[in-house]
Each structure stands twice: as C-alpha cells, then as structure tokens.
C-alpha cells in the first residue's frame, strides 16, 4: 500500500471520513424472527409417531424457532419466510452431516425428518452460498428428555441478541457492532499495513530458458491462510496464496507452466480464457492424464492472442476452486508488458465521458471474487476488514480486471466514480459503456477503468447486501478507494 495514506486526508480522522461516505450506501438487512413452537404427541397436535415436531423459520438471514429438542426422532417443520430468497437447512455434529433439506423457495415449507438424534450440540445452518456467512447459523441443542412444554421451547429460541424490551432485535448492539466493524480496516488504511498474514495475486517472475521460453513454476498444496483477522483456514493454494500468483506476458511468448502437485488428490490446470492447442486445455482425462499427488506436469504453448484469463483446476474443480485454487493471467500485444490496457478506447467519448488519447493508467488491479469454500465471500482471498484499500491521487485513472471464481454473480458497486466497462473476457468492447454497478457472472472477466475525481474515502462492494454485511457488521466483499489531493 502507498505511503500516500499518511497524508493530511488520511490523518484527518479517517474513521469519521470513512463512515461519512456510507450515507446512501449499504443498508442494514434487519429481520424480525418469528417465534417457533413445539407440538408434541399427548399435549396437542404432536407428531403421529410420538416423536417431536420442531418449527424452524428461515428468514433473511437468520434461523429461528425451536432450537432445543429432546433426544430421539425429530421432525423439523421448516418454513421459508423470506420474501424472495431460497434457503435450506443442514444439520451437522462435530463436522459430520446428519441431515440436509432440499432448497426451499421463498414462502415454501418442508418437513425434515431426523431419526435417533442423540444428546449434544449440533450446528444448523443454511448452505446456500453466502448465507451462512451472513448469519444463517445457529446451535441446535439435543437434550435427554428436555424441551418439554412451552417454557422449555422458549428457552431454545434464537432471539437474535435479545432486546431488553422483551424479544426482537437488539438494534443498539447492532449499531455498535456495525460501527466497530470498520475499525480494523481504518487502522490498516492509516498505517499502510495489512491486518492479516499473506497477500495473494503477486506477480510471478519467470525463469528464462536459453531459447527465450518463460517458465512459471507453481506448487499446489494445502496452506494455512488468514482470510480475516484471526480467521485462519486450510486453503487449497498455488504457491501458498489465494489467489495464486499472477502470470503476465505478451503475444508471441513461448510459455511453460510447471505444476508440482502436493495435494492429497489429483489435479490439473485449465487456463480459462486462453486460446491453446487441445493438448494444453487442462481437462483430465480428456486432454491429459490426472496429475497425481507427488507428480509434476508441464504445460507448454505459444501465446497466440491477447487475453485476460484465469487458471484453476478442472478435475474436482467444485472442491479445489472454491477453497482457493485460482489465479490471474494477462497477456497483452507485443510491447505492452503484460498489461490489460490494450482494451482502453483512448481518444473516444464513452457515455459522455471523454477518454484522453494519452491516458496513463496509474494503477492496474486484479480483483478476484469468491463466495464459497473455506475462503468464502472475499476479494482477492480476503474478507473485510482484511481486504486491501486502494490509494490514488485526484485525477488518476485505475484499470480493474474483475475475475469471478465464485459460484454466483456479484454486482460490484463503486461509490462516486462511474466505471467505464471497456472489455469482457479480455476482448475489447466495440461499444464501451458507463455503469456504477457491474455484475460479473461465474467464469467471467470484466475490465473497467475509472478516474478518481474527488478526494475522500469511497466504498467499493458487492451490492448483494448479505455478501457485504451481517448483524455483527461489515464483512466479506467490501473495500474502499482512498483518494488524496
């Protein structure tokens, strides 16, 4: 991060500056949880088989209802009270799945029957991407003959923090948590130092063979990775980081990508968005053999066309990719040093904004979006407040390559500065356009430019609200641009 963060704009109470720009930004997703109840055989309306029926309500984004049940057979009467979101329920014990419902549409319901629940504490959560992280998780307590009658049922309710006025949300605590969630980010912004270990996506320097071939070496392994302050996960990585290192080059380059597999399972590399011979497509067993644990495999090709591409496994991709195995590749026309700037429509006017013929990019940023696996909702492998803040000077231009390695679309909204969309999947657009929110689907890459015209701290986030905040404050897919005079 630049030393510019120490200038007067950053020193003038950056915490209040950051909070001030949030007006009209991200709204709190506040939900009132309806009270579930238990009906048992013998005391009116119980289940026919003599077991327990526990009413569970799913809302945006909370699990409420009866979360204290007696051991034995239990039927969970699930009701999705959301206005539009699909939800489901997974019940686990010590990390092992006990039961899972189907996906329940908004307004729908389902009975989830679980036989022979043993006493203990279970985790219950929604497995829809991003929902658990947004707060849809709770503890299910199974007791020996407990939960009998209305008093015991009330004791198992998830009241969302418990208002002292008798039920509902503790709004004052939510306000406090929301404000305090910014402090670690502000501290990092003002100090210029990251608040977690590890930085992903750094440029990978190749070794050069006598004939000029550029050799990029990657090692796939499971690595401790700090997603947010104090939150370490076992990530599946390239060269120990998520994202893996960035590979850059130019059209005409002779390339070798050498992968050493230190994973506990086989893998391969698909270079998504590259124009390659079929033998180098990275799809085992169709175009190559699976790279077994302990093996090394080399991909070799000549770059034919410019590309804003990404690399990731194809074999077992649904497991390896969400857990961190992805990286950026940029190949530009000869003489551009691996920059994505070849897509800039210099000298044109786009949506009323003139693009200078001599536009110089002050900063080029790759932003990899993820929403699943052990990494979860993140930007470049980090969840707010560990995301990187970007520092610029007034009048400078930034080029951003968005990469979606997640499982759902993400509408990325930058406060104040219109994003000029100049490329899609590495292909320059004949008709660039301006937008304040750019939606990137899984597998897509979008390239945008913007000019930092006004000083201040400007928030940048996914506009699916539960991807950016939860009741305990901001998290996930949020960062900011600090513009200095």
The domain containing residue 82 runs over which residues? 38-168
Confidence of residue 334 (pLDDT cuts 50, 70, 90): very high
User: Of 338, 367, 391, which residue is a domain's last?
Assistant: 338
Q: Mark whether 324 and 444 lie in a shared domain.
A: no
Q: Mark whether 122 and 159 lie in a shared domain.
A: yes
pLDDT cut 70: percent of the chain above it = 84
Q: Mark whether 250 and 140 lie in a shared domain.
A: no
Distance (Å, whole) CA 441 – CA 64: 32
User: Of 338, 357, 379, which residue is a domain's last?
Assistant: 338
Q: Mark whether 343 and 480 lie in a shared domain.
A: yes
Q: Measure the CA dihedral 422/427/431/432, to 10°.
A: -10
CA dist 424 → 81, 241, 347, 421, 435 (Å) = 38, 26, 20, 8, 14
Q: Which CATH number fits the domain that encloses residue 481?
A: 2.60.40.420
Condensed to tens digits (0 to 9), the pLDDT of residues 97-122 reads: 999 999 999 889 999 999 999 999 99
Q: Report H helices in 83-182.
A: 149-155, 171-180
Q: Mark whether 72 and 86 lie in a shared domain.
A: yes
Q: What's the number of CA atoms in the CB half-sphere (13 Å) around residue 251?
A: 13
Q: Mark whether 113 and 210 lie in a shared domain.
A: no
DSSP 102: P
| Ramachandran region, residue 319 (left: φ > 0; alpha: ψ -120 to 50; beta: rest) | alpha
Condensed to tens digits (0 to 9), the pLDDT of residues 356-397 reads: 999 999 999 999 999 999 999 999 999 999 999 999 999 999
Q: Mark whether 141 and 90 lie in a shared domain.
A: yes
CA dist 364 → 383, 392, 425, 442 (Å) = 21, 11, 16, 22
Number of domains in the chain: 3
Q: Mark whether 117 and 186 lie in a shared domain.
A: no
Q: Mark whether 163 and 217 lie in a shared domain.
A: no
Condensed to tens digits (0 to 9), the pLDDT of residues 180-206 reads: 999 999 999 999 899 999 999 999 999
Q: 167 with 361: CB under 8 angstroms?
A: no
Please list the residues that pair with 113 across neighbouring strands: 75
Q: Mark whether 184 and 201 lie in a shared domain.
A: no
Q: Measure the CA dihedral 142/145/149/154, to 10°.
A: -20
DSSP 280: G
Length of the chain: 485
Q: 405 with 328: CB under 8 angstroms?
A: no
Q: Mark whether 343 and 485 lie in a shared domain.
A: yes
Q: Mark whether 306 and 414 lie in a shared domain.
A: no
User: Of 317, 338, 359, which residue is a domain's last?
Assistant: 338
HEC profile of 355-405 = CCCCCCEEEEEEEEEEEECCCEEEECCECECCCCCEEEECCCEEEEEEEEC
């Amino acid at each position: 991060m630049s030393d510019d963060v120490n200038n007067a704009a950053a020193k003038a109470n950056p915490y209040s500056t950051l909070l001030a720009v949030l007006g009209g930004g991200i709204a709190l997703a506040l939900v009132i949880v309806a009270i579930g109840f238990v009906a048992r055989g013998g005391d009116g309306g119980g289940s026919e088989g003599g077991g327990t029926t526990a009413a569970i309500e799913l809302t945006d984004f909370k699990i409420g209802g009866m979360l204290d049940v007696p051991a034995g057979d239990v039927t969970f009467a699930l009701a999705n009270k959301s206005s539009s979101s699909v939800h489901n329920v997974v019940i686990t014990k010590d990390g092992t799945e006990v039961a899972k419902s189907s996906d329940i549409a908004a307004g729908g319901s389902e009975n989830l029957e679980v036989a022979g629940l043993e006493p203990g504490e279970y985790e219950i959560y929604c497995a829809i991407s991003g929902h658990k992280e947004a707060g849809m998780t709770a503890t299910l307590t199974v007791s020996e003959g407990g939960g009998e009658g209305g008093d015991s049922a009330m004791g198992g309710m998830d009241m969302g923090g418990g208002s002292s006025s008798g039920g509902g949300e503790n709004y004052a605590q939510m306000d406090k948590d929301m404000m305090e969630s910014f402090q670690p980010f502000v501290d990092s912004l003002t100090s210029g130092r990251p608040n977690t270990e590890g930085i992903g996506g750094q440029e990978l320097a190749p070794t050069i063979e006598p004939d000029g071939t550029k050799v990029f070496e990657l090692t796939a392994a499971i690595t401790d990775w700090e997603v947010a302050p104090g939150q370490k996960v076992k990530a599946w990585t390239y060269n120990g980081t998520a994202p893996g290192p960035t590979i850059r080059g130019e059209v005409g380059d002779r390339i070798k990508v050498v992968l050493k597999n230190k994973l506990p399972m086989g893998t391969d590399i698909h270079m998504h968005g590259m124009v390659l011979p079929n033998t180098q497509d990275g799809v085992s067993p169709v175009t190559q053999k699976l790279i077994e644990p302990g093996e090394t495999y080399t991909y070799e090709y000549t770059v034919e066309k410019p590309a804003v591409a990404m690399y990731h496994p194809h074999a077992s991709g649904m497991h390896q990719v969400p857990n961190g195995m992805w990286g950026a590749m940029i190949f530009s026309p000869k003489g551009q040093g691996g920059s994505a700037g070849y897509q800039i429509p210099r000298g044109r006017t786009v949506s009323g904004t003139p693009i200078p013929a001599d536009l110089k990019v002050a900063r080029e940023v790759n932003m990899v979006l993820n929403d699943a696996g052990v990494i979860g909702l993140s930007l470049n492998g980090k969840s707010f407040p560990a995301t990187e803040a970007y520092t610029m000077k007034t009048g400078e231009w930034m080029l951003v390559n968005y990469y979606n390695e997640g499982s759902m679309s993400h509408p990325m909204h930058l406060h104040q500065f219109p994003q000029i969309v100049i490329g899609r999947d590495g292909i320059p657009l004949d008709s660039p356009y301006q937008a304040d929110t750019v939606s990137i689907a899984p597998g897509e890459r979008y390239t945008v430019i913007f000019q930092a015209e006004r000083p201040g701290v400007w928030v940048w986030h996914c506009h699916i609200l539960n991807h950016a905040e939860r009741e305990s404050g901001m998290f996930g897919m949020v960062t900011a641009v600090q513009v200095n005079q």
